[in-house]
Homo-oligomer: A and B are copies of this chain.
Amino acid sequence: MTVRKGEFVSIVGASGCGKSTLLKVIAGLLEQSAGDIRLRGTDSGSGANRLGHIAYMPQQDLLLPWRTVLDNCVLPLEIKGRASSGTKAEARDMLKRVGLAGYELAYPHELSGGMRQRAAFVRTLMNGGELMLLDEPFGALDAMTKRDMHRWLLELWGNLKRTVMFITHDLEEAVLLSDRIFLMPAGSGGALQEMNVGLPRPRSMQMNFEPGFVSLRAELERRLYETRAV
């Protein structure tokens, strides 16, 4: 599995098939039992070398409960020693973008599930780094909010040329956002399948109902169904 710089890839697969684990391995939290992981073409060695260089958004939001939303969002820069006077303003601005204006000083437990997820998403963006690993970042959002997030993410991605790896169960989302989609097999036997999304960019929500889109989605569903039946 190779991900090119600036590419947007999605990973889909059955629940419990190891998607989150794969992301953790890439982030450097776990060591792989076989194979190796190359960053910019060179073997990155052990996971510890990759820690701190890859922005990672875990499946559970993991907002620190004793910090306000804003303080949670500036945490990555605090850790990296890059927090400056502008950091908080930047975080505030991003929080506004995701619809959390007014909640900067709230504690995580005062937010709804989807709001926590968005806060965690902002925290991940604040992280910087060329590669972003997002583990079901929009799973708890309604279609509208999700759409806003998609738009914003695509915009950011287009501007910054960051590389994104994205886990989702929403096949439309996968098709809409990705350059390529990887299908993870459920058992240990199957092989990783790859699917190219040939849709033109920039993409919009309207595409959802275009025939190309619908057929891609159906194809994806069929293939997923097959990997499972194996």
List residues of A whose CB falls within 8 A of some B CB: 12-16, 19-21, 59-60, 99, 111-115, 118, 136, 139-146, 169, 171, 221, 224-225, 228
Contacts and interface: CB of A to CB of B under 8 A. Distances in A.
A140 B143 contact: no
Contact of A145 (B14, B115, B145, B221): B14
A169 to B, nearest CB: 4
A41 B144 CA distance: 35
B169 A224 contact: no
Given A140-B59, A140-B136, A112 B169 contact: no
- Minimum-distance CB pairs A-B, first 5: A15-B114, A142-B169, A59-B113, A16-B112, A15-B145
Nearest to A20: B112
A221 B20 CA distance: 30
Contact of A139 (B16, B139, B144, B221): B139
Contact of A113 (B20, B145, B146): B20
Contacts of A114: 15-16, 169
Contacts of A60: 113
Task: Give the number of times this chain occurs in the complex, counting copies.
Answer: 2
B136 A15 contact: no
Nearest to A138: B169
Contacts of A228: 144
Contacts of A136: 113, 140
A15 B118 contact: yes
A143 B115 contact: no
Task: Please indicate which of the listed interface residues A15, A143, A146, A228 has the most CB atoms of chain B within 10 Å of its own CB.
Answer: A15
B118 A146 contact: no
A99 B145 CA distance: 31
A198 to B, nearest CB: 22
B139 A15 contact: no
A140 B221 contact: no
A115 to B, nearest CB: 5
Contact of A14 (B59, B144, B224): B144
A148 to B, nearest CB: 10
